[in-house]
């Protein structure tokens, strides 16, 4: 007799698909935030499964800061074709071709080109639900976030006033102008993501794998010179190092790690044997304890 | 956590054969659990210890916590493992966990999702949230304090939410000198009250979370303990048999229509197994068809079972849409719009009888009215609270009747979590204000409600208040209880005389006159006595509803029966009066010659002699007839009614 047991990964998949179908059924105008990262890749692949043999019934939205890695832009176009999905790209018109991390600093750049841009895009298209690929294990303040995370008209999150969430019954009721951020990967961990990707067939940006890349070391962080907008400081000499990225964002704000890992197995091996957590590479989190929480209250994903 | 060197789980295997390691992890299963304990039981410490000992903490996280320990820690600057888990800034500063947080860790056998629930008693709501998806509950007890009210409360909530497996972690054993006696005493205390809660297994673990004893590794400090460690138990507890694989239920989530040739119904199997060829009925329409194919991720598979998310196609073009449920012909759920449920309230604005809400159950979203709040549940002892409940406050549990605008398909929660649960949404604020678990109506406690499902309470436009205003008094029941011959009837009729003289409308319901009419089919067995009291209480309630004061004079020997009467009538309208006359005096008075007959063996069951009399613990009034005249006793009752405002504002 069959045992009728599902592995943890199959259970997570089923849960994510359930959440996506709920959103597609209950909201008027949902969208999937697409960051081009590995979690986004998994989320998108699950969406394709959820609605097969049909098409994904909502568009993808990429909030483009204009400072992503070139590899990411190439990958984005390939993926939109592969999944036959409507990809929308939004660049904050107020900051377009003006604001950047070098001219305005990382904090202002992120605020204008990422947080503000996201809010603009959601308002512009009138999306009432937006999927995000965040996981609860990523960061402490995320541990308490709901799968359906309510945002007011100003896209703000109120951690003290969250809707209770029981069983797999999600409350999709919002008034006009309000929205829900939906996190279908809430219960996945970093290892789960890699285990899913390891089964093959789901493409991820090549930057996750180690290769010789031009980098400089700044404040102890290895930054890749991805285009000619990178102003070298006096005495700074680019060097070739075999590096990979654990997370992807704006290239001047994303630290690389030296690595030999060229396959997913090797990445996982390296990840398990290293002793620092994933977000360490992101400059944005180290502003202070609770910094992510502050950003999220303000509408950051 | 004095030893803060960093270790990695399975380090050798990862280094030598990463593929084997990953294969092991790909096939592990999933356990969802919740942890509950009072504020200082060491819950966060225990979770921190599990994460740390299972090597799920990265070095930089450890460094950050060590740094934070000096600022926020409660350990005098030493490493505070609770900081590994306390998420939000505000909480960290207050030193308490105020919301459910989810933690993740795994071994090569299982992935664990921990719902970390705060211990404060006002956060029942969070516990219910965490418990709703949990298979196992870890209940923490501080060995110095033993089983306390909160331990019971947490256990009851787990039981109400349908958790089957409980692990009781008796913590801080180091502070009681690793005493086996203390451990055993707590174990026995816990077992004593938990027996009726329906847990299928309970295990006990002596631990010290702070130093890690018996959490992940066995401890030399506990030579008398030869059981498993807490983590070992978490890895091995068998939850497979908890699942309902019998009753196939498929709530339709989404209708898939990619092209004219394909029409599929997507959803998550809530319970049971579904295969191609199965005859299914769509509910509530009751149209039938056969499953044509089962698709997973667009690919045809043989069968699907809970909790798989699949798509079904059917042989026939029957009408199926979101909110409908597919079930096997011959094993269908209940279909109806009347629901009995245990509801937990989750919002500051209380639940009000008569108010309309949105009810989300499975994939249905239906407006419904909270038609009756039958009683509240005291989660400190899992007993019904006395009295009429007309509102349910934040963090309270109550038994409710809900009338939906449309019928839905459902099962009792204890048989099917997926189709027996619902959330309650406020129609104005859109907030989730409550959650409910559907109760099978044939259960014994349902006897307080109407037996037929088809009796809807007729509601006219004239209110009780209108009738009471007409009479200038409030409907109220004076319930006199006491031994035979204690003087109940004499006092009852004296009360009636005094009230009538004062111009108040009242009537005596007396053991003898009721038994000759309404209850002439009843004898004196315990069951018949219970039914006797129930009927009298219903009559008194109807009378009170007209504004009339009922004076019920019955031996009513059982506390439980008088409690039921109080519930039926409503605590606000109920005055229990104990006519406290000793058995010797009653027997000496023997006004009807009954005691003589009992002593002669002519009456088999007689209260006070061959059958018990349970005196009230705290009656509203206790009258010692041996030192008071009947007139004085009656005056005391009338005065109390006046104090309660029953007799209106007029002069008597």
User: Which DSSP string corresponds to A12-80?
Assistant: HHHHHHHHHHHHHHH-SSEEEE--SSHHHHHHHHHHHHHHTTS--SS-EEEE--S-B-HHHHHHHHHHH
In the prediction, which pLDDT does B74 show? 58
CA-based nearest residue to A12, from A204, A142, A203, A186: A186
Residue A2, in any domain of the structure: no
Confidence of residue A291 (pLDDT cuts 50, 70, 90): low
Question: Is B423 close to A192, i.e. CB distance below 8 A?
Answer: no
- Taking residues B598-620, what's their average pLDDT? 84
Q: What is the pLDDT of residues B69-82, one digit of tens each?
A: 666 555 555 556 66
B8-22, B166-180, B479-493: least confident range: B8-22
Q: Are residues A253 and A133 in the same domain?
A: no
What is the span of the domain harbouring residue A14? 8-195+290-297
Q: Which residue of A has its CA nearest to B426?
A: A173
CATH topology for the B11-242 domain: Rossmann fold (3.40.50)
Q: Are residues A161 and A245 in the same domain?
A: no
Residue-range domain boundaries for chain B? 11-242, 250-328, 334-446, 464-643
Q: Are residues A89 and A44 in the same domain?
A: yes
CATH class of B334-446: mainly beta
CA distance A265 to chain B (A): 7
Q: Which of A24, A168, A273 sits opposite B254 (nearest CB)?
A: A24
Residue A125, in any domain of the structure: yes
| The pair of three-digit structure tokens given for residue B152, joined into one six-digit string | 């019971």
Question: Is A52 close to B15, i.e. CB distance below 8 A?
Answer: no
Q: Are residues A213 and A180 in the same domain?
A: no
Q: What is the pLDDT of residues B488-541, one digit of tens each?
A: 999 999 999 999 988 899 999 987 778 888 888 887 777 777 788 889 999 999
How far apart CA B204 and CA B183 sit, in angstroms, is 9
In the prediction, which pLDDT does B457 show? 46
- Taking residues B57-67, what's their average pLDDT? 63
* Alpha carbon distance, N-terminus to C-terminus of chain A: 45
Give exposure, B42-81, as e/b (b: 16+ Cβ within 10 Å): bbbbbbbbbbbbbbbbbeebbebbbebbeebbeeeeebbb
Q: Which of B87, B132, B303 sits opposite A167 (nearest CB)?
A: B132
Q: Which of B29, B59, B133 sits opposite A167 (nearest CB)?
A: B133
ipTM of the complex: 0.91
In the prediction, which pLDDT does B286 show? 92
Confidence of residue B611 (pLDDT cuts 50, 70, 90): confident
* Contacts with B88 from chain A: Cβ below 8 Å: 140-141, 144, 159, 290, 293
Q: Are residues A169 and A68 in the same domain?
A: yes
B254-259 and B364-378 beta bridge pairing: unpaired
* Contacts with B132 from chain A: Cβ below 8 Å: 166-167
Q: How far is CA B592 from CA B491, B523, B613, in A?
A: 16, 18, 19
Q: What is the pLDDT of residues B328-342, one digit of tens each?
A: 998 999 999 999 999
Confidence of residue B83 (pLDDT cuts 50, 70, 90): low
- Taking residues B284-303, what's their average pLDDT? 95
CA distance A123 to chain B (A): 21
Question: Is B125 close to A164, i.e. CB distance below 8 A?
Answer: yes
* Contacting residues for A90 by C-beta, under 8 A, at least 6 apart: A61, A62, A63, A64, A117, A118, A120, A121, A124
CA-based nearest residue to B467, from B377, B573, B546: B546
CA distance A125 to chain B (A): 23
Domains identified in chain A, total number: 2
* B342: contact with A, CB 8 A cutoff: no
How far apart CA B293 and CA B300 sit, in angstroms, is 7
* Contacts with B240 from chain A: Cβ below 8 Å: 3-5
B92/A34: higher pLDDT: A34
Residue A231, in any domain of the structure: yes
- For residues B360 and B431, the answer to whether their CB atoms sit within 8 Å is no
Question: Is B258 close to A198, i.e. CB distance below 8 A?
Answer: no
Q: Which of A8, A142, A171 sits opposite B432 (nearest CB)?
A: A171
pLDDT at B449 > cutoff 80 = no
CA distance B308 to chain A (A): 5
Mean pLDDT over each residue of chain B, to the nearest integer: 86
In the prediction, which pLDDT does A200 show? 75
Residue A102, in any domain of the structure: yes
Helix ranges (H only) for B161-196 are: 180-194
How far apart CA B513 and CA B511 sit, in angstroms, is 6
Q: Which residue of B has its CA nearest to A22?
A: B253
How far apart CA B150 and CA B124 sit, in angstroms, is 10
CA distance B375 to chain A (A): 23
Q: Are residues A249 and A173 in the same domain?
A: no
* Contacts with A269 from chain B: Cβ below 8 Å: 14-15, 18
Question: Is B6 close to A289, i.e. CB distance below 8 A?
Answer: no
Q: Are residues A174 and A227 in the same domain?
A: no
Q: Which residue of A has its CA nearest to B31?
A: A8
How far apart CA A204 and CA A36 sit, in angstroms, is 8
Q: What is the pLDDT of residues A190-236, one digit of tens each?
A: 889 999 998 878 999 999 999 999 999 988 899 999 999 999 988 88
Query: Phi, psi (5° rounding) for residue B649?
Result: -90, -10
Q: How far is CA B84 from the centre of its chain?
A: 32
Question: Is A9 close to B133, i.e. CB distance below 8 A?
Answer: no
Mean pLDDT over each residue of chain A, to the nearest integer: 89
- For residues A238 and A232, the answer to whether their CB atoms sit within 8 Å is yes
In the prediction, which pLDDT does B59 show? 60
Give exposure, A172-202, as e/b (b: 16+ Cβ within 10 Å): bbbeeeebbbbbbbbbbbbbbbbbbbbeeee
- Superfamily for the B250-328 domain: Translation factors (2.40.30.10)
Here the CATH number for the domain that contains residue A149 is: 3.40.50.620
Q: Same CATH fold, B250-328 and B11-242?
A: no
Q: Which residue of A has its CA nearest to B72?
A: A289
* Contacts with A174 from chain B: Cβ below 8 Å: 430
A125-139, A232-246, B274-288, B379-393: least confident range: B379-393
In the prediction, which pLDDT does B222 show? 96
Q: Which of A160, A186, A268 sits opposite B22 (nearest CB)?
A: A268
Residue A77, in any domain of the structure: yes
Q: Are residues A35 and A183 in the same domain?
A: yes
Question: Is B422 close to A6, i.e. CB distance below 8 A?
Answer: no
Question: Is A273 close to B14, i.e. CB distance below 8 A?
Answer: yes
Question: Is A21 close to B126, i.e. CB distance below 8 A?
Answer: no
Q: Which residue of A has its CA nearest to B240?
A: A5
Q: For testing the chain B interface, which of A144, A271, A279 should be mutated: the one with the most B CBs within 10 Å?
A: A144
Q: Are residues A60 and A144 in the same domain?
A: yes
| The pair of three-digit structure tokens given for residue A65, joined into one six-digit string | 């800061």
Q: Are residues A107 and A33 in the same domain?
A: yes
| Neighbouring C-beta atoms of residue B153, cutoff 10 Å | 21
Q: Are residues A172 and A70 in the same domain?
A: yes
* Contacts with B418 from chain A: Cβ below 8 Å: 167-168
Q: Are residues A174 and A264 in the same domain?
A: no
Q: How far is CA B588 from CA B74, B582, B584, in A?
A: 69, 10, 6
CATH topology for the B464-643 domain: Rossmann fold (3.40.50)
Question: Is A18 close to B268, i.e. CB distance below 8 A?
Answer: yes
Query: Phi, psi (5° rounding) for residue B469?
Result: -60, -40
- For residues B434 and B272, the answer to whether their CB atoms sit within 8 Å is no
Question: Is A4 close to B273, i.e. CB distance below 8 A?
Answer: yes
Confidence of residue A139 (pLDDT cuts 50, 70, 90): confident
- Taking residues A174-180, what's their average pLDDT? 94
* Contacts with A2 from chain B: Cβ below 8 Å: 303
Q: For testing the chain A interface, which of B4, B89, B429 should be mutated: the one with the most A CBs within 10 Å?
A: B89
pLDDT at B433 > cutoff 70 = yes
Confidence of residue A91 (pLDDT cuts 50, 70, 90): very high
In chain B, pLDDT over 90 holds for what percent of residues?
Answer: 51
How far apart CA B435 and CA B197 sit, in angstroms, is 20
CA distance A178 to chain B (A): 11
CA-based nearest residue to B201, from B229, B153, B170, B236: B236
């Amino acid at each position: 007799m069959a045992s009728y047991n599902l592995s943890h990964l199959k259970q997570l998949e089923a849960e994510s698909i359930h959440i996506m179908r709920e959103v597609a059924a209950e909201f008027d105008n949902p969208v999937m935030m697409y960051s081009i990262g590995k979690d986004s890749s998994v989320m998108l692949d699950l969406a394709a499964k959820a609605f097969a043999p049909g098409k994904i019934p909502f568009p993808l939205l990429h909030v483009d800061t204009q400072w992503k890695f070139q590899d990411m832009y190439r990958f984005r176009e390939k993926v939109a074709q592969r999944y036959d999905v409507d990809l929308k790209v939004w660049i904050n018109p107020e900051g377009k071709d003006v604001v950047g991390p070098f001219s305005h600093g990382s904090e202002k750049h992120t605020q204008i080109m990422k947080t503000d841009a996201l809010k603009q895009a959601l308002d512009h298209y009138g999306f009432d639900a937006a999927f995000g690929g965040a996981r609860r294990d990523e960061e402490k303040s995320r541990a308490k976030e709901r799968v359906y995370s309510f945002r007011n008209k100003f896209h703000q999150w109120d951690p003290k006033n969250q809707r209770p969430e029981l069983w797999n019954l999600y409350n999709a009721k919002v008034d006009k102008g309000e929205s829900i951020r939906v996190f279908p990967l809430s219960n996945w961990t970093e290892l789960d993501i890699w285990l899913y990707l390891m089964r093959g067939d789901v493409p991820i940006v090549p930057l996750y794998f180690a290769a010789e890349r031009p980098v400089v070391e700044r404040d102890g962080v290895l930054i890749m010179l991805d285009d000619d907008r990178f102003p070298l400081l006096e005495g700074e000499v680019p060097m070739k190092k075999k590096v990979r990225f654990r997370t992807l964002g704006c290239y001047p704000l994303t630290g690389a790690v030296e690595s030999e890992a060229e396959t997913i197995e090797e990445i996982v091996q390296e990840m398990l044997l290293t002793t620092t957590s994933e977000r360490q590479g992101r400059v944005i989190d180290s502003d202070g304890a609770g910094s992510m929480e502050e950003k999220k209250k303000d509408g950051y994903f | 956590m004095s030893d803060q060197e960093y270790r990695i789980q399975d380090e050798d295997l990862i280094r030598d054969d990463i593929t084997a390691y990953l294969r092991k992890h790909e096939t592990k299963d999933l356990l969802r659990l919740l942890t509950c304990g009072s504020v200082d039981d060491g819950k966060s410490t225990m979770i921190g210890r599990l994460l740390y000992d299972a090597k799920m903490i990265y070095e930089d996280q450890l460094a950050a916590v060590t740094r934070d320990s000096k600022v926020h820690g409660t350990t005098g600057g030493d490493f505070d493992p609770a900081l590994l888990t306390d998420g939000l800034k505000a909480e960290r500063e207050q030193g308490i966990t105020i919301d459910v947080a989810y933690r993740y860790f795994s071994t090569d056998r299982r992935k664990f999702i921990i719902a970390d629930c705060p211990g404060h008693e006002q956060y029942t709501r969070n516990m219910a949230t965490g418990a709703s998806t949990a298979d196992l509950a870890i209940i923490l007890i501080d060995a110095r304090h033993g089983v306390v009210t909160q331990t019971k409360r947490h256990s009851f909530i787990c039981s109400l939410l349908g958790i089957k497996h409980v692990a009781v972690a008796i913590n801080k054993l180091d502070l009681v000198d690793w005493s086996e006696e203390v451990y055993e005493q707590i174990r026995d205390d816990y077992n004593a009250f938990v027996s009726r809660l329906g847990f299928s297994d309970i295990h006990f673990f002596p631990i010290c979370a702070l130093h890690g004893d018996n959490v992940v590794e066995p401890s030399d400090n506990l030579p008398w303990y030869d059981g498993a460690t807490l983590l070992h138990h978490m890895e091995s507890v068998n939850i497979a048999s908890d699942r309902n694989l019998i009753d196939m239920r498929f709530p339709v989530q989404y209708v898939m229509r990619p092209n004219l040739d394909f029409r599929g119904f997507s959803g998550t199997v809530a319970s049971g197994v579904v295969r191609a060829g199965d005859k299914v009925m769509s509910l509530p329409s009751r149209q039938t068809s056969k499953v044509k194919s089962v698709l997973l991720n667009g690919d045809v598979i043989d069968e699907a079972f809970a909790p798989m998310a699949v798509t079904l196609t059917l042989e026939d073009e029957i009408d199926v849409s979101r909110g409908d449920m597919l079930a096997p012909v011959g094993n269908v759920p209940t279909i109806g719009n009347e629901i009995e449920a245990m509801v937990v309230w989750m919002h500051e604005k209380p639940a009000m009888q008569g108010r309309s809400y949105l009810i989300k159950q499975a994939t249905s979203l239906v407006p419904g009215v909270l038609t009756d709040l039958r009683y509240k549940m005291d989660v400190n002892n899992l007993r019904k609270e006395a009295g009429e409940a007309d509102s349910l406050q934040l963090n309270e549990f109550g038994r409710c009747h809900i009338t939906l605008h449309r019928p839905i398909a459902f099962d009792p929660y204890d048989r099917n979590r997926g189709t027996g649960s619902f959330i309650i949404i406020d129609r104005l604020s859109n907030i989730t204000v409550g959650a409910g678990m559907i109760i099978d109506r044939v259960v014994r406690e349902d006897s307080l409600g109407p037996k037929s499902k088809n009796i809807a309470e007729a509601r006219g436009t004239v209110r009780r208040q209108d009738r009471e205003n007409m009479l200038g008094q409030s409907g109220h029941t004076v319930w006199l209880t006491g031994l035979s011959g204690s003087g109940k009837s004499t006092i009852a009729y004296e009360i009636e005389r005094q009230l009538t003289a004062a111009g108040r409308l009242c009537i005596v319901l007396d053991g003898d006159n009721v038994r000759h009419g309404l209850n002439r089919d009843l004898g004196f067995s315990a069951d018949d006595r219970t039914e006797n009291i129930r009927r009298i209480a219903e009559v008194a309630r109807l009378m009170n509803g007209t504004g009339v004061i009922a004076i019920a004079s019955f031996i009513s020997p059982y506390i439980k029966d008088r409690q039921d009467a109080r519930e039926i009538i409503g605590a606000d309208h109920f005055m229990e009066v104990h006519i406290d006359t000793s058995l010797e005096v009653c027997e000496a008075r023997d006004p009807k010659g009954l005691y003589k007959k009992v002593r002669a063996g002519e009456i088999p069951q007689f209260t006070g002699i061959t059958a018990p009399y349970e005196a009230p613990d705290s009656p509203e009034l206790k009258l010692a007839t041996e030192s008071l005249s009947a007139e004085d006793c009656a005056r005391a009752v009338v005065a109390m009614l006046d104090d309660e405002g029953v007799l209106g504002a007029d002069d008597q």
